[in-house]
Structure 1
Amino acid sequence: MHSPVRSAAVLALLGLAALAHLAHAQDAYPAKPIRLVVGFPAGGPTDVVARAFGDFAARSLGQPVVVDNKPGANTILAAEAVASAPPDGYTLLLGALNHTMIPALYSNRVKFDALRSFAPVCSLAVSPTVLVVGPSMPVRTLPEFLAAVRAKPGERTYATPGSGSGGHFASEQFNRLAGTRMNHIPYKGAAQAVTDLMGGQVDSSFATLGSVLPQVQSGKLRALAVASPQRSPLLPDVPTFEESGVKGYAADAWYGLLAPAGTPPDIVARLTRISGEFSRAPATAEKLRGLGMQAQNTCGGAFAAQLDGEIKAATKTARELDLKLD
């Protein structure tokens, strides 16, 4: 018969052994390949950022980082896969602006909380929204654009990659701030929207810079304003919305790293350090520049606060528009 003292001692030793094993497992992180889930098909901006970060992280961590494309349901499938994964650092999400639209659009459908089900690590890159027009709208400044839109309320059109997309929200936030009314033309992806914009089938688009940069540089589309606090170094002659008279309008599209909630702090810290190294690397800046993006490194609590603010803003906009996609 074991004495209570001996039994307590054995339990204490077992507890210490378990803690030591857990600590060793975390110290050894990563001991196997890491899965980086992306909610978009291969070849798009989010996928390109994911692969660039994955290659960089693999060299730093000494383990492969495998990009797993899980498109569908406006990125819900990808987010769901990561939210339900073990919080051990081996399943991560390369999220984008769409992530903060999910609660506003699909509150009755999703099985996770877009903020609390995740441990926000860092944003890695950012692409400003830019207002572009095609040949059907011969204006060259934002004030001229506003005059043309106000002259025909509800008749001028704007293209987006789809209902509930970041472009849709950015456009309607602009309408609310500027007091304008335009007709929404949703497409199934950015490529066809840009094609029809160049062809004159639609008048304008509030697009991420990366999706229209080649067309702007070639003169096929005209950029009127960028929705960021400062001018983009990629389009230094294009003013901000603030400079052009629309105050308080900002619509940067971010790309960032998230882990499942409950991921050990030391693993999050290591991923944070690697994210910072990636964002500061000259090769990263060069790669992102070609995509119409800039490196960004907002981490931890600051990144979480950014996501929280975007979720609240999207929820407010969706409520005002009575927009639900459940």
Structure 2
Amino acid sequence: MHRIWLSTCTLLATAASAQTVPYPAQPVHLVVGFAAGGPSDIVARAFGDHAAKPLGQPIIIENKPGANAVLAAEAVSLSKPDGLTLLAAATNHTMIPALYAGRIKFDAAKSFIPVCTLASSATVLVVGPSLPVKNLAEFIGRAKAKPDSLTYATPGQGSSPHLATEQFQRLAGVHMVHVPYKGAAPAVTDLLGGQVDLSFATVGSVLPHLKSGKLKALAVAARQRSALLPDVPTFEEAGVKGYSIDTWYGLLAPAGTPAGAIQVLTREATEFSRSAALRERLAGAGLEPANVCGDAFAAQIAREIDSNTRIAHDLNLKAE
């Protein structure tokens, strides 16, 4: 009887100890859906460097590019929901339901718990040397006067800038010709060379050319002016109401991840956004800290999925 009592006590103590093991007890894997060196990767590595010390565990960055980050999202959605495998997601995650309907094994919303955004890069309307306009009003006037006379570059059919431009055209009542490229770099190259007239690009992809004067920014699609482009008005200020297209980068955890782990990750994401040193590091890549968490982040993702799905349906867009 005495031995049974000791065994019971030992089991209870072991169970209690297991329940109080702090998160994380093992290294955390942060999966990035793009190759190393891009903005998603930069944000993921910056967060990993920041959070590893307070978490007491290394954060291992795993680059898993392919299919517009679908491969990475699928891998994380199927992983054990213990907080040890996370997705470094970006705005393109909200386009997956529209572009890959019926071809994916997860739900872009329900299969994940949105933790927090970590950084953002505002979408900015830039014009090249072929289009010498001074401001947004002049640009819209020119586009309305000659429909389909202006050409806009994007990194590809169904990309974030493509859908952002389509939204702008609807709000502004203009129609332009889409010129898709295989990536942001060739699109910017032809914009600089005057082969295309304009682009709705992330600040980070065009910031050096704006600083050199080779490109001109007409408006920023954000709720407030970008700290990186303080002299450029928002679309709201320039007369196009309700147009805000921030590109966000954030953390998603598999559905079912314990609340305790989510709380710890939320804390570290919030601290990340407050760090002056990290703000400077992100600014070098044309990024700014962001901190939308929990229900607010989930609501943002739901709105974007709905909006992108409607636009993709109207344009009959599907990923190849």
State the TM-score bracket (shorter-chain normalisation): over 0.9
5+ long unaligned stretches in structure 2: none
Matched, 1:324 2:318: yes
Matched, 1:23 2:23: no
Deviation string 1:174-224 (CA, Å, 9 cap, x unpaired) is 011111111111111111111110011111000011111111011010000
Letter in 1 for 2:43: V
- Trace 1:37-186 onto structure 2 (pairs within 5 A): 37-186=31-180
Correspondent of 2:268 among 248, 270, 274: 274
Contact 2:23 / 2:260 at 8 angstroms: preserved in 1? no
Match of 2:191 in 1: 197
Q: For 1:15 and 1:131, locate their aligned partners in 2 and report how far apart those are by CA, in whole Å.
A: 63
Q: Give the drift of 1:151.
A: 2.6
SS at structure 2 position matched to 1:114: coil
Q: For 1:217 and 1:14, locate their aligned partners in 2 and report how far apart those are by CA, in whole Å.
A: 67
Q: For 1:164 and 1:17, locate their aligned partners in 2 and report how far apart those are by CA, in whole Å.
A: 55
Correspondent of 2:210 among 216, 233, 247: 216
Match of 1:4 in 2: none
- Trace 1:173-322 onto structure 2 (pairs within 5 A): 173-322=167-316
Letter in 1 for 2:136: L
Give TM-score, length-normalised by structure 1.
0.92
Letter in 2 for 1:232: S
Identity of aligned residues (%): 63
SS at structure 2 position matched to 1:102: helix
Contact 2:23 / 2:264 at 8 angstroms: preserved in 1? no
Between stretches 146-155 and 173-182, larger displacement belongs to: 146-155
5+ long unaligned stretches in structure 1: 1-8
Contact 2:28 / 2:59 at 8 angstroms: preserved in 1? yes
Letter in 1 for 2:210: V
Deviation string 1:261-281 (CA, Å, 9 cap, x unpaired) is 000000111111111111111
Give TM-score, length-normalised by structure 2.
0.94
Q: For 1:309 and 1:260, locate their aligned partners in 2 and report how far apart those are by CA, in whole Å.
A: 20
Letter in 2 for 1:126: S
Q: For 1:13 and 1:132, locate their aligned partners in 2 and report how far apart those are by CA, in whole Å.
A: 69
Q: Give the drift of 1:17.
A: 7.2
Q: For 2:140 and 2:297, locate their aligned partners in 1 and report how far apart those are by CA, in whole Å.
A: 33
Cα RMSD after superposing both structures: 1.8
SS at structure 2 position matched to 1:180: coil
Contact 2:81 / 2:253 at 8 angstroms: preserved in 1? yes
Q: For 1:246 and 1:143, locate their aligned partners in 2 and report how far apart those are by CA, in whole Å.
A: 9
